[in-house]
């Protein structure tokens, strides 16, 4: 699979080096495609859910697309052609921006928008400090004498976005697909109901407590100009009745998409299988890739996404 061929060899090597007990904990999960066609480039019509009653730990990566070096002119402006969002719910809020935590290297910022589609206010705690009512949490880092936003979380509906540090020839790259972590449910659209959030600056870890019970930790494990990797632990497993994670994205056409193709493989397989996102019929897989093979007019530099290393073992 373009952009992930090295992962095939790495996955097989992982199986060879894992101990017998650890290998038994590695899982394949059910991948379900609930995507629907649309003409609106600002609608999350791509919906791919991950289900397993056993998963306690897994990884999520966002990596620059294989064609990143060929991009000369990036595109990231929204395109509301063929979009009608007049019926979307909107609750009023007082606009706000607050730096919750800051060092020379890292910064956590909270934003409250003038309106949002859900009315709930989720408390956010960093050490002894607690704030509430943010619609967006931004994690920034210092890189080459400038601030780079690399990870965001929408507390009111549980949506995340991630991106690597920008390539040198662009100096900036776009966000693309979103993802959900925790017990996924649908209330108008897929979401994860979060009861509270804590952030540990020392380990760069977010702890999420869910309204439906249980919790998750999301640790920023790796960040460079190629990819950002998150280590996720669920406590306890979400269970088989709901997805434990989901990918949300958009597809209008091959050249107007944040995700156009899905690829997957099972443990021990050296062969990736691939399908167009609208043709993908679901699978049981140990690794999932979602991305593009050619540049798009929408969020051209947005990263590919990978979900994998599913394990039944606790941290």
**What pLDDT does 76 receive?**
65
The pLDDT tens digits of the residues spanning 63-72 come to 999 999 888 7
**What pLDDT does 23 receive?**
56
Residue 234 CB coordination number (10 Å): 24
CA distances from 89 to 25, 115, 129, 171 (A): 43, 9, 31, 36
CA neighbor of 239 nearest in space, from 213, 264, 265, 218: 213
Q: Is the peptide bond before 236 cis (omega within 30 degrees of 0)?
A: yes
Distance CA 166, CA 85 (A): 32
**What pLDDT does 297 receive?**
83
What is the rounded end-to-end Cα distance, in angstroms, of the chain? 30
Q: What is the mean pLDDT of the chain?
A: 89
The pLDDT tens digits of the residues spanning 268-310 come to 777 899 999 999 999 999 999 999 999 988 888 899 999 999 9
Q: Is the pLDDT score of 74 beyond 80?
A: no
The pLDDT tens digits of the residues spanning 118-173 come to 999 999 999 999 999 999 999 999 988 889 999 999 999 999 999 999 988 887 78
The pLDDT tens digits of the residues spanning 211-259 come to 999 999 999 999 999 999 999 999 999 998 999 999 999 999 999 999 9
């Amino acid at each position: 699979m373009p952009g992930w061929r090295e992962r095939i060899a790495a996955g097989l090597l992982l199986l060879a080096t894992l101990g017998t007990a650890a290998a038994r904990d590695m899982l394949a999960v059910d991948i379900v495609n609930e995507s629907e066609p649309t003409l609106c480039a600002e609608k999350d019509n791509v919906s791919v859910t991950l289900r397993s009653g056993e998963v306690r730990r897994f990884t999520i990566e966002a990596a620059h697309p294989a064609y990143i070096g060929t991009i000369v002119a990036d595109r990231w402006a929204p395109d509301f052609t063929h979009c009608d969002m007049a019926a979307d719910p909107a609750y009023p809020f007082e606009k706000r921006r607050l730096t919750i935590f800051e060092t020379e290297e890292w910064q956590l910022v909270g934003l409250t928008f003038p309106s949002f589609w859900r009315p709930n206010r989720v408390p956010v705690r960093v050490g002894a400090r607690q704030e509430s009512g943010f619609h967006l949490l931004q994690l920034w880092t210092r890189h080459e004498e400038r601030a780079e936003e690399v990870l965001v979380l929408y507390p009111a509906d549980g949506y995340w976005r991630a991106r690597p540090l920008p390539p040198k020839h662009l100096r900036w790259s776009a966000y693309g697909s979103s993802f959900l972590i925790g017990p996924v449910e649908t209330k108008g659209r897929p979401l994860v109901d979060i009861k509270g959030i804590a952030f540990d600056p020392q380990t760069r870890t977010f702890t999420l407590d869910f309204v439906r019970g249980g919790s998750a930790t999301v640790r920023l494990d790796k960040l460079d100009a190629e990819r950002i990797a998150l280590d996720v632990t669920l406590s306890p497993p979400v269970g088989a009745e709901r997805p434990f994670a989901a990918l949300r994205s958009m597809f209008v056409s091959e050249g107007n998409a944040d995700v156009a193709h899905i690829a997957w493989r099972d443990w021990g397989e050296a062969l990736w299988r691939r399908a167009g996102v609208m043709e993908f019929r679901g699978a049981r897989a140990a690794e999932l890739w979602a991305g593009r093979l050619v540049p798009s007019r929408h969020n051209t530099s947005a990263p590919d996404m990978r979900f994998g290393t599913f394990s039944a073992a606790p941290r």
